């Protein structure tokens, strides 16, 4: 289906439709359920098999790490934190856009979120999974990784709750748990849809178990919607706290380049920025692969581009303020750290970061570029490269020149560093491919609520905006689902 | 929370039918019908829809969910337990003086207290919602109706249960068709294989 209607323009009267193509309840169910039910499309294997290969590389690199130790990475004495922590912060950040879409936009009643929130939440969970791998594997003595948790043990030893590193353990693992619950609660009605449409007994049972016997009772919807609202209200401060806590891993250290109060908001903005770029990449592929251009419309893409422009500018502002404060502080170590960041051995990484993160989104000032599919795709990739480099710059360029020049060294990533980075993408994309294949990609029950006929007071004063059929089927909007009834 | 049990009260003993199931064509018609069923004084009934029809609880005369109170309680418990754990660890369990600071450094306990409060509240919201809704309930008489599979697609239903004091096999069915239901059927309680006595379009 081509772009059947432009819904990026707000009409003078009324609102532009959130989804186009003249869907009613039944055809919407079809559009979302059929990709789950039909034979696997060839295009899916095209994404799944390379992802699986990358996941295999992840397994090998972790196995070798456990066998040989962290010496296989390019770590050296001043740079004790390398790719592992960079990847960790990168993946946690990716997750944040999913929660922003599912929770914060829900609280702000941004109804356009309904088309993309399911996929964005799934992305959050898979990103947090990738993130959680790294603190687990980077500790060196992995067999005592359980020391991170307050578990009673024979040594009568407990974690130090005054350390931001332990805050991080709690913040990220609880963030993953709450995101998973939020996602699953949203899935229940749609799993029931797949259960009720299932043709085989196995599918009926498999989806049925997870649908929990949902039958759409309004007495249930009442508690359900309340639970959803509460989860959104809880996830909102949670997501802001998570990347703030992650930033405190750095900010509470005394190292110039890390020791700044701007870190929490700066990290949160960057997290949302990179996360939206990842949602954009995934949605651009999914909407074509699963023929959902009318549900995930240009309007959704344009709105995401606007958020990327906003958060990109916030990130750019933070880069500027960091430089200004370094100069204004009068502290020679701070001044050196930032001059070295822009002009020193890692200047190449710094300028990749600035050009990808600050310059790329500026083109989104123009509506034409916000509606340009090709540019949206390229910029989303560039932004993710830039945001990975942001974390790389923060970690390595601050560490490699610390207070004592005798300590100075240059961190060079090894093959196994890259293997774990690429491998984590393998884990992420494998999970996402499985999700897109076996679960409803769009929150059908929620999208139905934004169809005009879902409004019980749809009446004389409200006129349905019928698509002025640009080439597609005329879709005269009769009473919904007239087909099978009576 | 009965796994694999019928969501049918004991009152169902001795009834041959679960009740009457009526399908409506539009959300508007369903809303009007719910108002009428409420005003007619029925109490054991439900509206069943593929998506939450907004404001339907008013038309049905339902009270708001009590879930927020539970969430408040579990959230505060989570935060309280979290704070108690950290205080105990640093004062009693493993007292270590770090940088000459006091043992009870409560400001440093705020992040973990907050996170555990959120965890408690979220668990309360989800598990509380399951408990209030009696989920999972894998067997229900309504699933005996062939028509009812549409409830997760485009079907907007009202079901009135046979043990409602005002229920009458014929009158209730006629009442629902009078409200504009396009299909009205009687749903059996037993014998999952048998759905022959349902499905009669009115």
Count structural domains, chain A: 1
Q: B55-85, pLDDT tens digit by residue? A: 899 999 999 999 999 999 999 999 999 999 9
Question: What is d(CA A148, CA A161) in angstroms, rounded to the nearest whole number?
Answer: 10
pLDDT-based confidence at residue A484 (cuts at 50, 70, 90): very low
Q: Cα distance from B109 to chain A (closest Cα, Å)? A: 7
> Once rounded to an integer, what is the mean pLDDT over residues A256-278?
92
Q: Does B114 touch chain A (CB under 8 A)?
A: yes
Task: Determine, yes or no, domain membership for A470.
Answer: no
Residues in chain A closer than 8 A to B183 (CB atoms)? 485-486
Check: CB of residue A106 under 8 Å from CB of residue A239: no
Check: CB of residue A195 under 8 Å from CB of residue B148: no
Specify the pLDDT at position A470.
Answer: 44
pLDDT-based confidence at residue B139 (cuts at 50, 70, 90): confident
Q: At what angle do helices A83-99 and A263-289 cross, to 10 degrees?
A: 70
Q: A73-114, pLDDT tens digit by residue? A: 999 989 988 999 999 999 999 998 888 888 888 888 888 888
Rg (CA), chain B: 25
Q: Considering only residues 212 to 241 of chain A, which have any Cβ-Cβ distance to chain B shorter than 8 Å?
A: 212-227, 230-231, 234-235, 237-238, 241
Q: A163-189, pLDDT tens digit by residue? A: 999 999 999 999 999 999 999 999 999
User: Between A129 and A476, where is the model more confident?
Assistant: A129
Residue to substitute from B111, B130, B137, interface A, most A β-carbons within 10 A: B111
> Once rounded to an integer, what is the mean pLDDT over residues B8-15?
61
Alpha-carbon torsion angle A450, A457, A214, A207, nearest 10: -30
Q: Cα distance from A343 to chain B (closest Cα, Å)? A: 36
Specify the pLDDT at position B6.
Answer: 47
B65: closest chain A residue by CA: A223
- Is it the case that residue B195 has pLDDT exceeding 50? no
Which of A299-304's residues contact partners 24+ apart within 8 Å by CB, and which partners? A299/A7, A299/A8, A299/A16, A299/A18, A299/A112, A300/A112, A300/A115, A300/A116, A301/A370, A301/A371, A301/A373, A301/A376, A302/A8, A302/A367, A302/A370, A302/A371, A303/A110, A303/A112, A304/A116, A304/A276, A304/A279, A304/A280
pLDDT-based confidence at residue A4 (cuts at 50, 70, 90): low
Specify the pLDDT at position A464.
Answer: 52
Check: CB of residue A242 under 8 Å from CB of residue A93: no
Rg (CA), chain A: 24
A224: closest chain B residue by CA: B129
Q: Cα distance from A290 to chain B (closest Cα, Å)? A: 19
> Once rounded to an integer, what is the mean pLDDT over residues B159-186?
90
User: Between A40 and A477, where is the model more confident?
Assistant: A40
Contact yes or no for B118 and A446 at CB 8 A: no
B47: closest chain A residue by CA: A218
Of A10-24, A455-469, B72-86, B137-151, give the range with the top mean pLDDT.
B72-86
Q: Cα distance from B157 to chain A (closest Cα, Å)? A: 9
Specify the pLDDT at position B11.
Answer: 57
Check: CB of residue B181 under 8 Å from CB of residue B78: no
For the record, the structure tokens of B181 come out as: 């239901």
Counting one residue from chain A and one from chain B, the pairs whose CB atoms sit within 8 A come to 225
Q: Does A13 touch chain B (CB under 8 A)?
A: no
- Is it the case that residue B194 has pLDDT exceeding 50? no
Residues in chain A closer than 8 A to B137 (CB atoms)? 212-213
Specify the pLDDT at position B12.
Answer: 61
Specify the pLDDT at position A364.
Answer: 95
Q: At what angle do helices A332-343 and A298-328 cross, to 10 degrees?
A: 130
Distance (Å) of CA A76 to CA A21, A70, A231: 57, 10, 43
Specify the pLDDT at position B54.
Answer: 87
Task: Determine, yes or no, domain membership for A424.
Answer: yes
Task: Determine, yes or no, domain membership for A4.
Answer: no
Which of A14-18, A236-240, A415-419 has the least mean pLDDT?
A14-18
B106: closest chain A residue by CA: A162
Nearest of A177, A94, A167 to residue A130 by alpha carbon: A94
Residue of A170, A219, A459 lying closest to B112 (CB–CB): A170
The rounded percent of chain A whose pLDDT value lies above 70 is 92
Question: At B24, is the secondary structure helix, strand, or coil?
Answer: strand
Task: Determine, yes or no, domain membership for A395.
Answer: yes
Residue B22 host element (H or E): strand B17-24
Specify the pLDDT at position A243.
Answer: 92
> Once rounded to an integer, what is the mean pLDDT over residues A193-203?
91
Residues in chain B closer than 8 A to A225 (CB atoms)? 52
- Is it the case that residue A133 has pLDDT exceeding 90? yes
Residue bearing tokens 């123009």:
A366
- Give every CB contact of residue A307 below 8 A, 6+ residues apart in sequence: A272, A276
Residues in chain A closer than 8 A to B142 (CB atoms)? 215
Q: What is the mean pLDDT of chain A?
A: 88
Which of A466-470, B32-36, B96-100 has the least mean pLDDT?
A466-470
Q: Residue A314 belongs to a domain with what CATH number? A: 1.20.1630.10
Check: CB of residue A411 under 8 Å from CB of residue A344: no
- Give every CB contact of residue A378 below 8 A, 6+ residues apart in sequence: none
Q: At what angle do helices A83-99 and A415-438 cross, to 10 degrees?
A: 20
Specify the pLDDT at position A460.
Answer: 43
Q: A203-249, pLDDT tens digit by residue? A: 999 999 999 999 999 999 999 999 999 999 999 999 999 999 999 99
Q: B45-48 and B156-161 as β-strands: parallel, antiparallel, unpaired?
A: antiparallel
Alpha-carbon torsion angle A395, A120, A61, A48, nearest 10: -150
Task: Determine, yes or no, domain membership for A477.
Answer: no
| Alpha helices per DSSP H over B4-146 | 27-39, 56-60, 67-88, 110-132
Q: Does A480 touch chain B (CB under 8 A)?
A: yes
pLDDT-based confidence at residue B2 (cuts at 50, 70, 90): very low
Q: A313-366, pLDDT tens digit by residue? A: 999 999 999 999 999 999 999 999 999 999 999 999 999 999 999 999 999 999
Q: Cα distance from A56 to chain B (closest Cα, Å)? A: 33
Specify the pLDDT at position B198.
Answer: 39
Q: Does B36 touch chain A (CB under 8 A)?
A: no
Contact yes or no for A174 and B47 at CB 8 A: no
Interior CA angle at A338 toward A333 and A344, to 5°?
Answer: 105
Burial zone of A413 (CB within 10 Å; 0-12 exposed, 13-18 middle, 19+ buried)? middle
Q: B99-131, pLDDT tens digit by residue? A: 888 999 999 999 999 999 999 999 999 999 999
Nearest of A283, A247, A113, A94 to residue A179 by alpha carbon: A94
Question: What is d(CA A392, CA A394) in angstroms, rounded to the nearest whole number?
Answer: 6
- Is it the case that residue B183 has pLDDT exceeding 70? yes
Q: Which domain holds residue A79?
A: 32-150+157-452
Task: Determine, yes or no, domain membership for A27.
Answer: no
Q: Does B107 touch chain A (CB under 8 A)?
A: no
For the record, the structure tokens of B53 come out as: 């029809």
Question: What is d(CA A302, CA A286) in angstroms, rounded to the nearest whole number?
Answer: 16
Residues in chain A closer than 8 A to B42 (CB atoms)? none
Buried b (16+ CB within 10 A) or exposed e, B112-122: bbbbbbbbbbb
> Once rounded to an integer, what is the mean pLDDT over residues A23-28?
87
Task: Determine, yes or no, domain membership for A444.
Answer: yes
Q: Considering only residues 161 to 200 of chain A, which have any Cβ-Cβ distance to chain B shorter than 8 Å?
A: 161-162, 164, 166-167, 170-171, 174, 177-178, 181-182, 184-185, 188-189, 192-193, 195-197
Contact yes or no for A485 and B53 at CB 8 A: no
Residues in chain A closer than 8 A to B160 (CB atoms)? none
Specify the pLDDT at position A97.
Answer: 85
């Amino acid at each position: 289906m081509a772009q059947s209607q432009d819904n990026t323009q707000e009409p003078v009267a009324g609102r532009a439709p959130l989804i186009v193509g003249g869907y009613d309840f039944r055809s919407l169910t079809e559009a979302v359920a059929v990709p789950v039910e039909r034979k696997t499309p060839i295009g899916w294997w095209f994404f799944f098999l390379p992802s699986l290969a990358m996941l295999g590389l992840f397994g090998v690199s972790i196995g070798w790490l456990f066998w040989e130790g962290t010496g296989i990475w390019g770590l050296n004495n001043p740079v004790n934190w390398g790719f592992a922590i960079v990847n960790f912060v990168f993946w946690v950040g990716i997750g944040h856009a999913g929660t922003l879409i599912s929770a914060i936009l829900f609280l702000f009643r941004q109804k356009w979120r309904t088309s993309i929130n399911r996929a964005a939440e799934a992305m959050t969970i898979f990103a947090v999974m990738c993130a959680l791998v790294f603190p687990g594997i980077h500790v060196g003595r992995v067999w005592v990784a359980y020391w991170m948790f307050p578990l009673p043990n024979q040594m009568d030893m407990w974690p130090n709750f005054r350390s931001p590193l332990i805050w991080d353990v709690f913040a990220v693992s609880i963030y993953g748990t709450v995101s998973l619950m939020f996602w699953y609660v949203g899935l229940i009605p749609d799993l029931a849809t797949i259960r009720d449409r299932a043709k085989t007994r196995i599918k009926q049972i498999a989806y049925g178990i997870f649908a929990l016997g949902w039958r759409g009772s309004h007495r249930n919807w009442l508690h359900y919607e309340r639970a959803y609202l509460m989860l959104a209200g809880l996830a909102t401060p949670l997501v802001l706290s998570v990347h703030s806590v992650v930033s405190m891993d750095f900010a509470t250290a005394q190292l110039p380049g890390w020791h700044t109060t701007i870190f929490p908001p700066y990290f949160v903005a960057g997290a949302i920025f990179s996360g939206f770029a990842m949602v954009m990449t995934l949605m651009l592929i999914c909407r074509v692969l699963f023929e959902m251009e009318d549900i995930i419309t240009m309007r959704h893409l344009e709105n995401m581009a606007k958020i990327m422009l906003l958060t990109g500018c916030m990130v750019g502002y933070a880069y500027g303020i960091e430089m200004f404060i370094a100069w204004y502080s009068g502290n020679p170590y701070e001044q050196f750290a930032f001059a070295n960041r822009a002009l020193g051995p890692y200047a190449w990484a710094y300028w990749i970061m600035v050009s990808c993160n600050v310059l790329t989104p500026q083109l989104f000032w123009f509506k034409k570029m916000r509606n340009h599919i090709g540019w949206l795709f390229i910029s989303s990739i560039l932004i993710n490269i830039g945001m990975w480099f942001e974390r790389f710059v923060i970690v390595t360029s601050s560490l490699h020149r610390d207070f004592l020049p005798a300590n100075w060294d240059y961190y060079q990533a090894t093959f196994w560093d890259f293997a774990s980075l690429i491998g984590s993408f393998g884990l992420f994309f494998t999970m996402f491919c499985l999700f897109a294949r076996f679960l409803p990609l769009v929150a059908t029950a929620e999208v139905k609520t934004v169809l005009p006929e879902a409004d019980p007071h749809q009446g004389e004063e409200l006129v349905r905006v019928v698509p002025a059929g640009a080439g597609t089927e005329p879709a005269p909007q009769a009473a919904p689902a007239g087909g099978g009834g009576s | 929370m009965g796994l694999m049990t019928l969501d049918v009260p004991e009152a169902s003993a001795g009834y041959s039918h679960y009740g009457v199931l009526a399908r409506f064509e539009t959300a508007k018609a369903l809303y009007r019908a719910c108002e009428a069923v409420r005003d007619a004084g029925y109490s054991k009934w439900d509206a069943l829809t593929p998506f939450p029809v907004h404001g339907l609880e008013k038309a049905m005369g339902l009270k708001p969910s009590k879930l927020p109170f539970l969430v408040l309680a579990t959230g505060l418990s989570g935060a309280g337990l979290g704070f108690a754990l950290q205080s105990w660890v640093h004062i009693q369990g493993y007292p270590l003086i770090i940088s000459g600071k006091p043992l009870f450094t409560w400001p440093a306990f705020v992040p973990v207290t907050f996170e555990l409060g959120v965890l408690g509240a979220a668990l309360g919201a989800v598990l509380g919602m399951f408990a209030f809704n009696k989920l999972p309930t894998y067997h229900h008489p309504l699933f005996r109706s062939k028509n009812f599979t549409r409830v997760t697609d485009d079907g907007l239903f009202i079901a009135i249960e046979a043990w409602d004091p005002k229920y009458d096999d014929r009158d209730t069915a006629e009442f629902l068709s009078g409200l504009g239901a396009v299909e009205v059927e009687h749903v059996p309680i037993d014998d999952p294989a048998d759905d022959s006595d349902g499905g009669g379009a009115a």
